[in-house]
Amino acid sequence: MSQPEISEEDLLQRAGRGDSRAFDQLYDRMAPRLFGLLRQMLHDEREAEDILQDGFVLLWESASTFDPDRSKAFTWAVMLFRHKAIDRMRMLGRRNRLVDSAALEQSTLGASSQAGVDEEVQAHERRLVVGEALNELPKEQRQLIEFAFLKGLTHHVIAESLGIPLGTVKTNIRRGLLRLRDLLKGGA
């Protein structure tokens, strides 16, 4: 007679007590799903692999803080990995802004056409206007729009990772987009 499969919650609690075999099983179960989520968020397989490894190190170190009464093991893990991915995206964003800034400075100093510089300035100004409008949205709507459109996550992935109903995700994104449209029309 075969033994029943151990739940992810039990495996996570065992890992929190230092059980490396339980952690190995947890890794085998969760890694493919978490990797898919990270790849969707980061749009880069290498970055997703790095975050997956960093995330499991953090999971091992934090497993003792897991409370099965507050969330499912996978939901808890998604939040850890999501925070790691967001930190990486912020770091990459800062690096990209520095590169963009240096490239813009170089193009204005170099022999680039004035039209190209004007287009870049206009694009930069549009990004600023949209960013300001996004900041005026309620936090939940802004966050969901960023997940869906800036990070490329599907509504289903957002709902699962945040532990909220799919309908709520869709409604808040729709309301946020309508509000964003109104803000941008008013600011134009």
pLDDT by 10-residue block (mean), the chain, 188 residues: 79 94 95 92 87 93 93 92 85 63 56 59 75 84 82 83 88 86 73
Give span(s): CATH 1.10.1740.10, the chain: 1-112
Cβ atoms 146, 134 nearer than 8 A: yes
What CATH number is given for 1-112 in this structure? 1.10.1740.10
- The first and second tokens of residue 74, run together, are 């996978």
Query: What is the reported pTM?
Result: 0.51
Predicted pLDDT of residue 33: 94
Cβ atoms 66, 14 nearer than 8 A: no
Q: Which CATH number fits domain 113-188: 1.10.1050.10, 3.30.565.10, 1.10.10.10, 2.30.290.10?
A: 1.10.10.10
- The first and second tokens of residue 53, run together, are 């490894």
Cβ atoms 164, 155 nearer than 8 A: no
